[in-house]
Amino acid sequence: MANEGLDKAVSGEYALGFEIDIETETVPPGLDENTIRFISKKKNEPEWMLELRLKALKKWESMTEPHWAKLEYDSIDYQSISYFAAPKEGIDSLDEVDPKILEAYEKLGISLEEQKQLAGVKVAVDAVVDSVSVKTTYAEELAEHGIIFCSISEAIENHPELVKKYMFSVVPMADNYFAALNSAVFTDGTFVYIPKGVRCPMELSTYFRINAINTGQFERTLIVADEGSYVSYNEGCSAPTRDDNQLHAAVVELVILKDAEIKYSTIQNWYPGDETGKGGIYNFVTKRAVCEGENAKVSWTQVETGSAITWKYPSCILKGDNSVGEFYSVAVTTLAQQADTGTKMIHLGKNTSSTIISKGISAMKGQNTYRGLVKIGSNATGSRNYSECDSLLIGSQCGAHTFPYLESKDTKGQVEHEATTSKISDEQLFYLRQRGINEEDAVSMIVHGFCKQVFSQLPMEYAVEAKALLELTLEGSVG
Amino acid sequence: MSSVMKIENLQAKIGDKQILKGLNLELEAGKVHAIMGPNGAGKSTLSKALVGHYDIEVLDGDITYKGKSIVEMEAEERALEGIFLSFQHPVEIPGVNNAYFLRTALNAKRKHEGKEELNAAEFLRLMKSHLEMLGMKSDMISRSLNEGFSGGEKKRNEILQMLILEPEVIILDEIDSGLDIDALRAVSEGINKMKDGKRTFLVITHYSRILDYIEPDYIHVLKDGKVIKTAGPELVPYLEEHGYDGIEEE
């Protein structure tokens, strides 16, 4: 009984698939040196940046697309993608954003007008549409604390010393195929610098929107937390419903110095495609944090509900002694979605510790893979890792797979791994229904219970959003 | 007599095996009915059939509740109409807060009855008042539903749900199994509190122990998928002495 109705209950509708009706300037499809020069020129970049991009392009051209992940998709034609698209209005003056874009962001639940925000909770937003940042809020207020919060293009122009020092320091330009591609063609993204001893007074966030047809989005985010500082940063994203696949290849680098902490949360809701596997975003993302100093702490929390294909392993390099890395993940694959996601915890400093909590939910024909590496280096004495990977299957056509890798050079290191796979059992559903709770609410209750450990890591307002999103993804089709 | 539920010629199977073979039973409103019988007689199957469990396929016959057939009714619909099953083995649901679950269930019922939903504070007051009576700790509010509960805690939690949902027909499937004497007392007290002359109980049990605490009005002996005898509580000591073998179909 339980499987009837269940499929219907988990084929949630994608609510953010609308298109923003704006004129877009797009570079013709194709990727070569000229494309790079065009992008660099469009962004008025200094020569050194162009040089770095060209170097990355050369490296990328010598590399091949990796296929070790448990993902099945048609090979990507990189020459058929357009590498730059920007809304025509509002580029020159950041104060004048096309009202249609403002309206679209309102529709997404994000206010780009500071005075319109609810009292009490201030969230600074960098809004990125296709290849450009269209608006960054609260930048001035943050500057009073010495905090730099701007688009990466502005950072290249105004803070070259910081960009030169830290960009590519965590994810080298030829780290992997998709990182190399990003290094060559990245268009916008967010730059954050929190000075020594400063606790960022508000949540920072970036909202990425793919809008143009046939373009890829290649953003690059760099966050530097100087000694003793703290910041909580959140990113969200969405894209219109389209029959063609679109490529998203991002790079995020986090640098955490002594006694500093970064909390990085993601709610990923790119268009997932339909139940036959048509359309949807190909999401190939490299995210890495390095805890450079002692007692540095980084925490990745991700709620992945969108994209046709997800290839993503937010990682922590725990260099500083006593540094801490955390990874909390909920990945949902329904329809025909595939996700291969997890983390790498590289313990290099002494007494470093890491925690991995991964929750995979598969429904309909969704395929969900956890892939994680815990590596304890020879100097990392006294290091500890705790991993917990749980999978929840809804229905019988979906799949869950777990690939935990462990390399330990320290025999005294403490590594614990627990993995479970459970089905939403008919008995659980029946129990709730016998108490008068309808099937849809029962499924959602069980799923929320399953995700609780991860949602509790999100800042409050995002936890609410994540719950709502999960509900929509898994049970939007009725009502 | 005024009957609240009537089971006529019920034939039902689980998988390929027919378990209920023409079962007839009438539940008198406001009374306590005990169903006794040997292992494999079909006691649990009967309780599952009454609440619309997915394991059960009804082949023939009918179940009417307040004059309406419920055989085709969804499980949640029957629950909302006032039929409650205390499970023999309550399932664990990790991460689902016990109070949140119960409030959702209660509000679903209240909504169904056209009543105002209770807010969190109102609900907590209600829940706390019952916890104490059942000898349950206040951490039952925040713990996950049945997760890591002892056998006794699970059964007390079933009774807690019954007290809060205030159903009209209450099926207790082996409520006393795995209970120590203190838990048995607490559970019985909860059940007796619900006996108001209007609610109807169907107590399914192997042993007569629970019947010392909850006094039945009728004893029905179930054997090989049929009710073969109905009598008053005086039958209990006879069954204890002679077992079920000596009972012939009436």
Q: Rounded distance, CA A96 to CA A101, Å?
A: 11
Q: Cα B19 to chain center, whole Å?
A: 19
Q: A452 to chain B: which residues are within 8 Å by CB?
A: 95
> Are B108 and A428 a contacting pair at CB < 8 A?
no
- Residue B165, chain A, CB below 8 Å: the answer is yes
Mean pLDDT of A214-237: 93
Give bridge partners of residue A86 from the DSSP assignment.
Answer: A25
What are the pLDDT digits (tens) for A86-103? Answer: 887 644 554 567 777 788
Two tokens, residue B16:
């390929």
Most B CBs within 10 Å, among A4, A432, A467, to test the B interface: A432
Is the model more confident about A343 or about B244? Answer: A343
Q: B79 to chain A: which residues are within 8 Å by CB?
A: 433-436
What's the pLDDT score for residue A121? 64
What's the pLDDT score for residue A137? 86
Most B CBs within 10 Å, among A435, A446, A448, A455, to test the B interface: A435
- Residue B206, chain A, CB below 8 Å: the answer is no
pLDDT over threshold 90, residue A240: no
Mean pLDDT of A418-425: 74
* Contact between residue A302 and residue A250 where contact means Cβ atoms under 8 Å apart: no
Count of other CB atoms within 10 angstroms of residue A226:
19
Interface contacts (A, B; CB < 8 Å): 71
- Residue B93, chain A, CB below 8 Å: the answer is yes
Q: Rounded distance, CA A370 to CA A420, Å?
A: 12
Strand A245-256 and strand A220-225: pairing? parallel
Least confident of A170-184, A335-349, A451-465: A451-465
What's the pLDDT score for residue A69? 93
User: What are phi and psi for residue B58, nearest 5 degrees?
Assistant: -85, 125
What are the pLDDT digits (tens) for A383-396? Answer: 999 999 998 888 88
pLDDT over threshold 80, residue A115: no
Q: How far is A389 from chain B (nearest CA, A)?
A: 15
Two tokens, residue B79:
């629950």
> Are B109 and A451 a contacting pair at CB < 8 A?
no
pLDDT over threshold 90, residue B250: no
Q: Would you mind telling me the total number of residues written for chain A in this entry?
A: 479
- The average confidence (pLDDT) of chain A is 87
Mean pLDDT of A125-131: 82
Is the model more confident about A161 or about A447? Answer: A161
Most A CBs within 10 Å, among B76, B80, B86, B147, to test the A interface: B76
Two tokens, residue A4:
């009837």
pLDDT over threshold 60, residue A1: no
Q: A451 to chain B: which residues are within 8 Å by CB?
A: 95
Is the model more confident about A240 or about B33? Answer: B33
Percent of chain A scoring above 70 in pLDDT: 93
What's the pLDDT score for residue B23? 97
pLDDT over threshold 60, residue A5: no
Spell out the residues 6+ positions from residue A315 whose beta carbon is closer than 8 angstroms to its own: A287, A288, A289, A343, A344, A345, A346
What's the pLDDT score for residue A116? 58
Count of other CB atoms within 10 angstroms of residue A317:
24
- Residue B110, chain A, CB below 8 Å: the answer is no
pLDDT over threshold 90, residue A458: no
Q: Which residue of A has its CA nearest to B50?
A: A434
Q: Which residue of A has its CA nearest to B52?
A: A434
Give bridge partners of residue A422 from the DSSP assignment.
Answer: A392
pLDDT over threshold 90, residue B11: yes
Mean pLDDT of A452-474: 80
Spell out the residues 6+ positions from residue B139 whose beta carbon is closer than 8 angstroms to its own: none
* Contact between residue A35 and residue A27 where contact means Cβ atoms under 8 Å apart: yes
What are the pLDDT digits (tens) for B54-97? Answer: 999 999 999 999 999 999 999 999 999 999 999 999 999 999 99
Percent of chain A scoring above 90 in pLDDT: 53
Q: Rounded distance, CA B20 to CA B9, Å?
A: 9
pLDDT over threshold 80, residue A422: no
Q: B104 to chain A: which residues are within 8 Å by CB?
A: 437, 441, 445
Mean pLDDT of A427-433: 94
What are the pLDDT digits (tens) for A344-375? Answer: 999 999 999 999 999 998 988 999 999 999 99
Helix (H, G, I), strand (E, B) or coil at A52: helix
Is the model more confident about A9 or about B149? Answer: B149
Percent of chain B scoring above 90 in pLDDT: 76
Mean pLDDT of A240-246: 82
What's the pLDDT score for residue A11? 61
pLDDT over threshold 50, residue A250: yes
Mean pLDDT of A299-303: 94
Most B CBs within 10 Å, among A434, A457, A467, to test the B interface: A434
Least confident of A91-95, A319-323, A458-462, B56-60: A91-95
Three-state secondary structure of chain B = CCEEEEEEEEEEEECCEEEEEEEEEEEECCCEEEEECCCCCCHHHHHHHHHCCCCEEEEEEEEEECCEECCCCCHHHHHHCCEEEECCCCCCCCCCEHHHHHHHHHHHHHHHCCCCCCCHHHHHHHHHHHHHHCCCCHHHCCCECCCCCCHHHHHHHHHHHHHHHCCCEEEEECCCCCCCHHHHHHHHHHHHHHCCCCCEEEEEECCCHHHHCCCCCEEEEEECCEEEEEECCCHHHHHHHHCCCCCCCC
* Contact between residue B144 and residue B94 where contact means Cβ atoms under 8 Å apart: yes
What are the pLDDT digits (tens) for B111-154? Answer: 999 999 999 899 999 999 999 888 898 898 989 999 999 999 99
**What band does B201 get if pLDDT is binned at 50, 70 and 90?**
very high
Q: B58 to chain A: which residues are within 8 Å by CB?
A: none
Q: A446 to chain B: which residues are within 8 Å by CB?
A: 93, 96
Using the CB atoms, write b or e for B111-141: b if 16+ within 10 Å. Answer: eeeeeeebeeeebeebbeebbeebebeeebb
What's the pLDDT score for residue A12? 66
What are the pLDDT digits (tens) for A36-51? Answer: 999 999 889 999 999 9
DSSP category for residue A411: T
